[in-house]
Structure 1
Amino acid sequence: MTAAVAPIEHASGAGRPERQVFTPGTRMWEDTGLITFSLTAGSAFLLQTMEPSIAAVVDEHSSFRTDALGRAARSVASVMMWIYGGEEALAEAARLRSMHATLNSTDGQGRKHQALASGPWAWVLHTAVHAFVEGNKYFSDDKLTDADKESYYREVVQLMRNFSVAPKEIPATYAEWEPWFYDQVENHLEVTNVAYDYLKVIQTLAPPKQVPAVLHPLWNVAATPLGKMQYFFTVGTTPEIIREKLGLTWTASDERKLKALGWVIGRTVPHLPERVRYFPIAYEARRLERDRARLRKMINLRPV
């Protein structure tokens, strides 16, 4: 039987922390699968591309430049599995660790990097905390209290345990995490070519391989506004110090526009049908008791 995530204590390092899957009643279950997840996922990935080891590995091994939409689809499907996949969520975490075990690289300065080094491996999930809080700030009408942030962070700590993140990389509480995170942003993240490439890629989304060449002009017309919007949301939900490091322009008018769009989104999305409001795997998981077979089909069809 699968146990729900209970309030957890910070890992003491004694013994192996228990891995648990997420179930209804957790904040992860309610919020991760919402379509608004995609509005801040870009800022999370941008922060990842500025972590030196992640940047080096992504630069050498990632397909985001040549298959941006395919990579995004696979990433979103994987995240949905972390929360909605039941026991398969733990298998997905193990698959990702296995996949990254051999992803090593050497950067232009001759520094060697490993994808599974404890700091970079943890940083991916730390950027998710930032993305969630920023998403709630701009795109939700149900604002988080300090207590909500602490409760959510305890669930993130459990997710980190599922991914075998080293306890030394996990601040004990959200109150401790927040200054730690911004210290990392200011003093550890670096300006990288990968970050600039990513910002360029999301503005000019290349057509998927399945789209015939004759339809590429039509694709470009349709995709350009979406790319500009994704860029706008990515830059707007990225920490100001990162915008300054990268030389990105963000004006008071941009901030007002983001807040206005967020206000509309935050009051529209909750009223959409559940099928539209959630990504497919999340939607099917929420309907599992009524339609277990359909969830199985979606899991089997997920991009890997």
Structure 2
Amino acid sequence: MSRRDAAPPPPPPGGVLWSLAGDARMLLALPAALTMQVAHPAVGAGVDEHSVFRTDPWGRGERSLRSLQLWVYGGERAAQEGRRLRELHKAIQGTDATGRRYHALTPAYYAWVHATGYPVYAHAQQYIGRPFTDAQHRKLYAEWLQVGRVLGINDRDMPGTIEEFWAYYRKILADEIGTNAVVEELVATDRPVPPPDRGPLPLRLLLRALWPVLLPPLARFRRFVTIGFMPPEAREAIGLDWTDEQERSLRRLGRVVRVVVPLLPERLRYLPMARRARAEYRRSAARRPAPR
């Protein structure tokens, strides 16, 4: 296989994403990235018309999370997952709310879906982790570009530097982003959501019985973290309100998470695929001969 045809590798073990993407804290930030993605009219239309997020929200969430973990921790399976996603999106096309034809693999739309991850990770880290240094920001962005290559995004379709990224990002927010029916559903607190259908049968039955009581506070919390972990400029572009009191509550939540999560054992702090990959990396490092 030529170098040109070789599958792009995932970001390197031990990098910024290696410690970030599998950390359970980042689950709090994922709804913000998803909402920013669908705030683009083409992406929102594709999700509205082709996704099962209404009928199978838990299954869709589980599949999306597994896919994300594969991009970073999947090794050779990362490129396979990238190819699978592109194949899955080939049939997704239609007309968005502006009357514009869209296709899920149109480079500008596909790149935006990927691009949202970087500002959300960077923003959320200020609350639930240690804020990144400039060097870490640059390393994270470089690794996120590498994930883009895994997903089949050409370098010409993503800004090559952080400085170029922020200019691109502000332009998309100004020219494209706004609310739509999918955004409204993702931040709603009064929409019906089925109870989880994964896990042991006794747990599923218990959740089904308690769901009318559990759903309202869970829906309010989902809205809170979705808007809270969204960068302020994206909130403003979409038209989502955020008060000073909510900001104080988010900072209190962040302080608790920053203290508690690092004290947990790795089996609770990291998602399963990340935990296995990290353990294998440590075993491999231990087997390497010491430098002379």
Amino acid at match of 1:285: A
Q: Distance in 1 between matches of 2:163 and 2:131?
A: 17
What is the CA-CA distance between 1:84 and the residue it aligns to? 0.7
Correspondence for 2:28: 39
Aligned-residue CA RMSD in angstroms? 2.5
Tell me the number of residue pairs that the alignment of Structure 1 and Structure 2 aligns: 277
Q: Does 1:76 align with 2:68?
A: no
* Mean CA deviation greater in 104-113 or 59-68: 104-113
Q: Distance in 1 between matches of 2:140 and 2:190?
A: 29
Q: Distance in 1 between matches of 2:241 and 2:9?
A: 42
Q: 1:275 to 1:202 in 2, by over 3 A?
A: farther
Q: 1:202 to 1:64 in 2, by over 3 A?
A: farther
What is the CA-CA distance between 1:23 and the residue it aligns to? 3.7
Q: Is the 8 A contact 1:21 1:86 kept in 2?
A: yes
Amino acid at match of 1:71: R
Q: Distance in 2 between matches of 1:221 and 1:120?
A: 39
3-state DSSP of counterpart to 1:113: strand
Q: Distance in 1 between matches of 2:281 and 2:236?
A: 48
Give the alignment's TM-score, normalised by structure 2: 0.86
Unaligned stretches of 5+ residues in structure 1: 1-14, 293-304
Q: Is the 8 A contact 1:35 1:278 kept in 2?
A: yes
Q: 1:201 to 1:124 in 2, by over 3 A?
A: farther
Correspondence for 2:11: 22
Q: 1:71 to 1:245 in 2, by over 3 A?
A: same
Correspondence for 1:254: 246
Q: Distance in 1 between matches of 2:40 and 2:89?
A: 16
Correspondence for 2:96: 107
Residues 42-94 of structure 1, C-alpha deviation per residue, up to 9 Å, x if partnerless?
Answer: 11010111112111111111111121121111111110011111100110011
Residue of structure 1 aligned with 2:210, choices 218, 228, 232: 218
Q: Distance in 2 between matches of 1:104 and 1:259?
A: 40
* Mean CA deviation greater in 280-289 or 250-259: 280-289
Residue of structure 2 aligned with 1:138, choices 127, 152, 157: 127
Q: Is the 8 A contact 2:119 2:231 kept in 1?
A: no
Q: Distance in 2 between matches of 1:72 and 1:171?
A: 28
* Mean CA deviation greater in 208-217 or 77-86: 208-217
Q: Is the 8 A contact 2:58 2:196 kept in 1?
A: yes
Q: Is the 8 A contact 2:173 2:234 kept in 1?
A: yes
3-state DSSP of counterpart to 1:144: coil
- Report the identity percentage: 34
Q: Does 1:161 align with 2:149?
A: yes
Correspondence for 1:88: 77
Correspondence for 2:290: none
Q: Distance in 1 between matches of 2:116 and 2:34?
A: 8
Q: Distance in 2 between matches of 1:165 and 1:267?
A: 37
